[in-house]
Chain A
Amino acid sequence: MADDIATPEPAAEPTPSPEPRPDPQPPILRIENVVKTFGSFRAVDGVSLDIRAGEFFALLGPSGCGKTTLLRMLAGFETPDEGRILLSGEDIAQVLPHERPVNMMFQNYALFPHLNVRDNIAFGLRRAGMPRAEITTRVAEMVALVRLEGLEKRKPDQLSGGQKQRVALARSLARRPQVLLLDEPMAALDKKLRESTQFELMELQRRLGMTFIIVTHDQEEAMTVASRIGVMKAGKLEQVAVPRRLYEEPASRWVAQFVGDINLFEGEVTAREPHRLRVSTASAGELVAAQPVAPIDESKVAVAIRPEKIRLALRRPAGDAAAINCVEGIISDTSYLGGKTVYKIRLDGGAAIHAAQANTARLDADGYGLNQRVVAWFTPDDCVVLER
């Protein structure tokens, strides 16, 4: 697991440095070796993670991998069987949910059906014993923040899905928690609404400067909103990294395949040159990949290449030094997706790969036809060598 504790890199930086930089401030939330078992089933299996103040962190993983369980331990609804959770340096194991400076936005919102929008938002403020006048101001502020003006008197079942989601958000933000936990906050929204909500959420988080931890099974959502992503698999953290690094330098075959589409060529390292690694693969012959930052110990590896980094041509690009990795095959399927077209190519070696070509010209979007013979090539720098 690449435990990346570097600050979020600016997008322009080419390759993130391998050594973690010294932390400017202690993390607001430290999760140390946390384990949660249900019976003999380890739902969360030794997770360690540092969350910095003011960051937007995403826990990404397939359904059932333990994301909600981890989040519920942070909120105090479950107690870890092992490990510690430190909030601002203090162990919160014994702190009950209603005493934690952490608020949660629930997966199905869990709005109080008998209270109207305003009373739902004011619920947490009243429990905190805030004076009446201040509650009124704060509720109005929250209502404006999530743009629910005019709906204050409505009951939850008089609201649309998107409006309910906003009420839930306003309610969990009203107490100004140190950390806001969001459990699949957009799962119930349709795609268009989800996308606009994602941007609103980011904007909100930046404006409030709060720490957000979002749980999602949607990698696009995680990449859109989060400054850092922790990928979970079967109760364990597979990789923690900034979105770009997660995509371009996945730590394992599993992460590579979970985050976006990728082509994997299984093979064996045959030669280690100063900057290059030669890998002999069964399906694509010998491939040359750039030496990864962390040295490769295994000899059995996978060379991974993202579909959009594969270039297609009708014949072998002559004299192009970059075109070292060259495979041939027949287009067996095409999917036109608007912005890009994805080709499924049956290689002569038998394997199938995906190659995506951006449709940059309107009149020339047809590209290659079915059953056409093509050459697919990619540079060593675009390949990732995976050990795990």
Chain B
Amino acid sequence: MSARRIFSRPARFAAIAPYVWMVLFFLVPFAFVAKISLSQTAIAQPPYTPVFSLAGGWSSLSDAFAALSPDNFRLLLSDDLYLSSYLRSVVVALTSTAILLLIGYPIAYGMARLPRRWQGIAMMLVIIPFWTSFLIRIYAWVNILQHDGLLNQILLALHLVSTPVVWLSTDSAMYVGIVYSYLPFMILPLFATLTKLEPALEEAAADLGASPREIFWLVTFPLSLPGVGAGSLLCFIPIVGEFVIPDLLAGSKSLMIGQTLWLEFFTNKDWPVASSIAVVLLVVLLLPLLLYDRLQRRQLEESR
């Protein structure tokens, strides 16, 4: 009895810790953002109305509640700028995730097949870029891709092109930056699932007459799908909200939603619209998460 009391307290705390974390660092800030998204801009400090204040008593609070309106969300729907930004973000994130998967999968597959003592080294090589600031690494790409940058110098020296190619401020440059930055997030979950795969399964498939290609598509790949899902989500979600990479590497013709949000917040000083963009973005990102969750749950149920 007493033993249970001793052990149950930390255990109970461990069980609620994630919820405490979630309330403190997600729900509370999100409530602020959601409230601002329902406010109107004002030339004031803070730059929106209404402001909830307990000093004015109950009547001023209820007035403030009455002043909240979903106007900003209507604006998001009516103005093409926002819709196209969302769309571009999703398209860029989907395309990047697909490219990341195409590049990351073979790398993770190769790593998983290295002798064990080489795997640690390979993993280090994947992680090492994180030791340098993200911003510096993106600026390095600016350097490489600019008009007289390294890439053009090499191309010119090899006589592959006769005049410098415009790389910077193109979508290609942005994709290079995104794929470069997010590759580890794709590789690591894939590597984790692929190393856990029992080698005997592939041998059993070979034994039963499967060619190497069939072994991959019928055994290895289906069994690595949890890693594919995890890696894709880990890349897709932050890429949708990506701001720095498109800002530094892509042109300014069309914006991703992160850039639009930044413009609203810092240039237009329109906190309410910026907040409503953020709220919608969250809802958009929740969709793939819920989908993934449902898929996993179904898989679990199937195997029960």
Q: Which residues of A contact B (CB under 8 A)?
A: 75-77, 96-99, 103-104, 106-108, 110-114, 123-124, 127-128, 155, 157-158, 171-172, 175
Contacts and interface: CB of A to CB of B under 8 A. Distances in A.
Contacts of A158: 303-304
Given A110-B201, A124-B209, 18 more contacts: A76-B207, A77-B207, A97-B203, A103-B208, A104-B207, A110-B198, A111-B204, A114-B222, A123-B205, A124-B208, A127-B208, A127-B209, A128-B209, A155-B302, A157-B303, A172-B207, A172-B208, A175-B209
Contacts of B91: none
B210 A127 contact: yes
A378 B209 CA distance: 56
Contacts of A96: 206
Nearest to A96: B206
Given A114-B222, A155-B302, A108 B200 contact: yes
B206 A97 contact: yes
Given A98-B210, A108-B200, A158-B304, A114 B223 contact: yes
Nearest to B197: A113
A206 B152 CA distance: 74
B219 interface: yes
Interface residues on B, range: 20 to 34
Nearest to B212: A98
B211 interface: yes
B contact face: mostly helix, strand, loop, or mixed: helix
Contact of A110 (B204, B211, B214, B304): B204
Contact of B207 (A97, A111, A128): A97
Given A98-B209, A98-B210, A112 B303 contact: no
Interface of B: 198, 200-201, 203-211, 214, 218-219, 222-223, 302-304
Contacts of A98: 206-211
Closest 5 CB pairs of A and B: A124-B208, A127-B209, A110-B200, A110-B204, A97-B206
Nearest to B198: A110
Contacts of B209: 98-99, 124, 127-128, 175
Contacts of A175: 208-209
A128 B200 CA distance: 20
16 contacts: A77-B203, A77-B207, A97-B203, A104-B204, A106-B200, A106-B204, A107-B200, A108-B198, A110-B203, A112-B219, A123-B205, A123-B218, A127-B208, A127-B210, A127-B211, A171-B208
A113 B198 CA distance: 11
Contacts of B206: 76-77, 96-98
B209 to A, nearest CB: 4
A365 to B, nearest CB: 47
Point out which of A77, A98, A157 has the most chain B C-beta atoms below 10 A from its C-beta: A98
Contacts of B218: 123
A172 B303 CA distance: 23
Contacts of A128: 209
Contacts of A77: 203, 206-207
Given A106-B200, A155-B303, A75 B207 contact: yes
A114 B201 CA distance: 11
Nearest to B302: A155
Contacts of B214: 127
Contact of B223 (A103, A108, A113, A127): A113
B12 to A, nearest CB: 31
A128 B214 CA distance: 12
A163 to B, nearest CB: 15
A98 B204 CA distance: 9
A157 B302 CA distance: 10
Contacts of A76: 206-207
A123 B222 CA distance: 14
Contacts of B210: 98, 123, 127
Contacts of A114: 222-223
A127 B205 CA distance: 9
Nearest to A168: B204
A188 B206 CA distance: 23
A113 B210 CA distance: 17
Contacts of B211: 98, 127
A97 to B, nearest CB: 4
Contacts of B304: 158
